[in-house]
């Protein structure tokens, strides 16, 4: 599993990459609490990533995140197995930028 900060359109977020994410649950923990959601319900899942350079079977899922501070991501598959260690991604607050400005 891997997680990288990646905006989508005008929203800040994190792309979580892993095997069998379709029916998995992503656990997001930040200074304000923890939220667990099924990948299909939290946003975007690319089950057939073309040109991403990912190994066969690995898919990226995008999750919206809260800006400012460290965010932990964990993934649990439907069988109940999960990541042994959560991934930590720093989400730094950034100023709004107008395209073309």
CATH code of the domain containing 36: 2.60.40
For 63, residues 6+ apart whose C-beta sits below 8 A from its C-beta are 13, 14, 15, 16, 26, 28, 37, 42, 43, 73
Q: 28 in a domain, yes or no?
A: yes
Read off the tokens for 2.
Answer: 């891997």
* Cβ 37 vs Cβ 26: under 8 Å: yes
| Total number of domains constituting the chain | 1
Q: 71 in a domain, yes or no?
A: yes
Residues of the chain with pLDDT under 70: 42-43, 50-52, 65-68, 92-101
Residue 85's domain spans which residues? 2-91
Helix (H/G/I), strand (E/B), else coil: 73: strand
Q: pLDDT tens-digit profile of 67-79?
A: 567 888 888 888 8
The pTM is what? 0.67
> What DSSP state is assigned to residue 11?
B
pLDDT at 101: 38
Q: 46 in a domain, yes or no?
A: yes
């Amino acid at each position: 599993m891997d997680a990288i900060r990646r905006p989508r359109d005008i929203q800040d977020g994190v792309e979580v990459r892993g095997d069998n994410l379709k029916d998995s649950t992503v656990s997001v923990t930040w200074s304000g609490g923890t939220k667990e959601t099924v990948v299909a319900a939290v946003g975007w899942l690319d089950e057939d990533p073309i040109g991403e350079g990912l190994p066969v079977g690995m898919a990226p899922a995008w999750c919206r995140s809260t800006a400012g501070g460290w965010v932990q991501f964990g993934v649990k598959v439907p069988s109940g197995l999960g990541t042994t260690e959560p991934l930590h991604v720093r989400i730094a607050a950034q100023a709004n930028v107008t395209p073309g400005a």
